[in-house]
């Protein structure tokens, strides 16, 4: 599935540009969340997800949130409440990946794991079996 990322959007025209990709057939809008610690720079938060929720869900599409933040399990609740349909946790962002996956699932949201293919597979193999998706 192709998931257009809003990270490259013109934020002054965000709603318009999301509508353009939805009209073109996109069924998944990808939101890259960066905290400035795990990876630079600081990007968007739950407020952006909440602002897009009605538009994306109204088009029959999903909001996917990629948490590239330290300890993603601490941020799951805010993004789930904002309207995320799937939350992806970066393997290297937490010492206990299963905590993040469990937190996502407890909120009734689809869970996913994002891996860096250059990392040893043992770090992510066990947790990826409990998630609904795995991205590289």
What are 127-135's contacts with CB under 8 Å, separation 24+? 127/91, 127/97, 127/98, 127/101, 130/98, 130/101, 130/105, 131/101, 132/86, 133/86, 133/88, 135/66, 135/88
pLDDT tens track, the chain, 136 positions:
889 999 989 989 999 999 999 999 999 999 999 998 888 888 899 999 999 999 999 999 999 999 999 999 999 999 999 999 999 999 889 999 999 999 999 999 999 999 887 776 665 555 554 555 656 5
Strand locations in 22-117, DSSP E? 28-34, 62-68, 86-90, 110-114
What token pair was written down for 27?
């069924």
Please tell me the pTM assigned to this model: 0.84
Q: pLDDT > 70: what percent of the chain? A: 88
């Amino acid at each position: 599935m192709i998931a257009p990322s809003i990270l490259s959007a013109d934020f002054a025209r965000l709603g318009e540009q999301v509508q353009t990709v939805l009209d073109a057939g996109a069924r998944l809008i990808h939101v890259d969340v960066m905290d400035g610690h795990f990876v630079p720079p600081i990007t968007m938060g739950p407020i952006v997800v909440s602002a897009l929720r009605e538009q994306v869900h109204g088009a029959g599409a999903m909001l996917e949130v990629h948490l590239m933040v330290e300890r993603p399990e601490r941020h799951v609740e805010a993004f789930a409440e904002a309207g995320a349909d799937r939350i992806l946790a970066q393997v290297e962002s937490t010492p206990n990946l299963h905590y993040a996956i469990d937190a996502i699932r407890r909120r009734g949201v689809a869970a996913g794991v994002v891996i860096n293919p250059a990392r040893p597979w043992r770090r992510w193999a066990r947790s990826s079996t409990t998630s609904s998706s795995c991205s590289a």
